[in-house]
Amino acid sequence: MSADELRWGILGAADIADKALIPALQAADGSRLVAIAARDPERAVAMARRHGIERVHGDYASLLSDRELDAVYLPLANNLHREWTLRALEAGKHVLCEKPLALNLAEGEEMAASARSSGRLLMEAFMYRFHPLMRDLVASLRSIPIRHVSASFGFPMAPSDSYRLRPELGGGALYDTGCYAANVTRWLLGEPERVEAVMRSDAVDMSCSAVLAFPGGAQASLYCSFESPEYQELTVVCEDRVVSEERPFSRWRDPHDPYQVMVEEFAAAARSGGTAPLPLEDSLANLRLLDRIRAAAI
């Protein structure tokens, strides 16, 4: 690996790669985007041409065998995160994996064990955790008693063939937007001791609400949905103030690009042999909470 750059490949020509991660990789210090692979070769070729990516591999396995790559970004459907993360780590690549890291805690623990044994970094791409505004907000509340957190993330999901609406592909609102609400709540309050939840399901869960209780008396309410107007909200009720933030999970280029900050910090850790800036332990704890919410709602 070059001491001054991490060479990247992308497994999958997803929209999030096209709109967010490819621009971030190309703007980030210490990174160079080299290759892309996709199930649809024509889509991969078009994306490579659009962004000036050096080469296109015919399939995921071919990209992983590319010795000139140090790391991969994995934006595949949720049900594929475990398989291709394990294969990438086995191939000696660092992995930045889209959220949710896995479909459950057991999968996540297997992936974490593989990362440890391979000596490579594995990190969940919770880009909102890298936005300076969110980091400053959480830091400002560290010494203030918090009474209640309300976190919501929803948007309307029209009937389609999207993986978000297909159970076999790991669809559902809890995985897609609920993971953010769970994560920010844990970031602020730690791990809950009690979880209650209700869920409305069709082929996948379309809406879910959860109430959490924490040691010391703090409480939280979470809401995620595919059947609401587009809606993001974070409200923190403290002992002496109420702090609210609109669009806490998708602030982008305002002027900070959290995707670019995330890539730069991940690449710096990989090049130096350091630890991932968002620890795997945090991702596993988030999966544990998502498992508890799903179990409570059954």
Q: Which residue has the tokens 């974490």?
A: 112
Options 99, 131, 164, 294, the catalytic residue: 99
93 catalytic? Reply is no
Q: Rounded to whole angstroms, how far apart are CA atoms 170 and 81? A: 10
Closest Cα partner for 235 from 221, 214, 217, 224?
Answer: 221
| SS3 annotation, the chain | CCCCCEEEEEECCCHHHHHHHHHHHHHCCCEEEEEEECCCHHHHHHHHHHHCCCEEECCHHHHHCCCCCCEEEECCCHHHHHHHHHHHHHCCCEEEECCCCCCCHHHHHHHHHHHHHHCCCEEECCHHHHCHHHHHHHHHCCCCCEEEEEEEEECCCCCCCCHHHCHHHCCCHHHHHHHHHHHHHHHHHCCCCEEEEEEEECCCEEEEEEEEECCCCCEEEEEEECCCCCEEEEEEEECCCEEEEECCCCCCCCCCCHHHHHHHHHHHHHHHCCCCCCCHHHHHHHHHHHHHHHHHHC
Peptide bond into 255 cis (omega under 30): yes
Encoded tokens for 109: 């623990």
Give the catalytic positions in this structure: 99
